[in-house]
Amino acid sequence: MTFEPPVLEDAFVRLEPLEERHRNPLRAACADLDLWCHHPTNHMGVAFGRWLVHYVETSARGADQSWAVFDKPSGRYAGSTSYLLASNIPRAVPEG
């Protein structure tokens, strides 16, 4: 079964399937050091590129599904969200 991730949208936010075109807007969104204070890894600098390539590739394979989060009121990308291991868990999807 193939899953094509949809664009998910309401009045405040749009989730777009993660693609290479999101690199620069998401790099800007994750430049806030406070964002990483409770996260086990920091995805700034070189780590950001590795993170983006990993999630774009795993989404393309259908292993994980990742979206870029666009905040409509501000007109800017705010970050990302993912369903991890979507293909390995029948009828259940962990959020991450």
Residue 52 sits in a domain of what CATH number? 3.40.630.30
pLDDT at residue 5, rounded to an integer: 83
Does 89 fall in a domain?
no
Asked if residue 70 lies in contact with residue 43, where contact means CB atoms within 8 angstroms, the answer is no
Does 92 fall in a domain?
no
Q: What tokens appear for 42 in the block?
A: 């920091």
pTM of the model: 0.80
Does 71 fall in a domain?
yes
Domain that holds residue 33: 8-83
Question: Is the sign of the CA dihedral 85, 7, 54, 59 positive or negative?
Answer: positive
Give the CA-trace dihedral at 81, 32, 30, 75, to 10 degrees: 80
Cα distance between residue 72 and residue 58, in whole Å: 27
- Say how many domains are in the chain: 1
pLDDT at residue 76, rounded to an integer: 96
Q: Which residues of the chain have pLDDT under 50?
A: none
Does 14 fall in a domain?
yes
Cβ-Cβ contacts under 8 Å for 3 (sequence gap 6 or more):
62, 65, 86
